[in-house]
Amino acid sequence: MEFDASVLIKRSDDMKLPSEADQQLMTLHCKHCSTILADSLGVCGEVKSMDFIMCLRVTNDVVVSGKMESGHEGKLANCIYSSVKCRNCCSVLGKVVHATPLHMAMIRSIFLLLKANISCYILNSSSMVKATTLTFDLKPLGERMNEVRLQIEAQLDHLMHMRSRLFSSSIASQSDKQGAHAV
């Protein structure tokens, strides 16, 4: 599946995503051929020091090289990884790290897409932006759970209020009926 440029309304290179509460849904595309590689639901964060987007899942258009490489210098020193390429244009998109030192364990077996090679289509604004202009930080799970708990409590309060109004209305209706029968 490829991106259809006729759907694009506007292009913005400096767009910033709203706060985490308003998390935007988007698709991630190959910068070179616009092939869809992943979506924001599969994103699990970013490695800012290496400019990678971390993805748990990608489309079948992302191909993992069978050749494993060993990092000898830089941030991926002492790591074993495979390159990740676009199936359509064969551009290198990033890496999948198979083995790391303990301090980098969080990136093992995760698709690491290099932000410089990715464009993002923001669904609700119909705009294509460079991934380098976006932040892919995710809130800690505990923070999100607390937000969900607060939302559920607010809904429960609302339902309890509606229940009490319904109960009061029911009692008033019954007393009106009893008063009408007494006359």
Question: What tens digit of pLDDT does each residue of 158-168 get?
Answer: 889 888 888 88
- Look at residue 87 and give its three-state secondary structure: coil
The pLDDT of 75-99, averaged and rounded, is 93
Cα 46 from chain centre? 11
Specify the range with the lowest mean pLDDT, choosing from 19-23, 28-32, 96-100, 162-166.
19-23
Count the neighbouring beta carbons within 10 Å of the beta carbon of residue 82: 16
What is the chain's mean pLDDT, rounded?
Answer: 81
pLDDT band at residue 177 using 50, 70 and 90 as cut-offs: low
Count the neighbouring beta carbons within 10 Å of the beta carbon of residue 140: 8
Closest CA to 53 of 167, 124, 133: 133
CA distances from 52 to 4, 107, 131, 142, 153 (A): 25, 10, 10, 24, 37
Q: What is the pTM of this model?
A: 0.64
pLDDT band at residue 4 using 50, 70 and 90 as cut-offs: very low
pLDDT at 60: 95
Higher pLDDT, residue 14 or 86? 86
Handedness of CA 8, 10, 12, 18 (dihedral sign): negative
The pLDDT of 77-105, averaged and rounded, is 92
Spatial distance between the Cα atoms of 27 and 127, rounded to a whole number of angstroms: 11
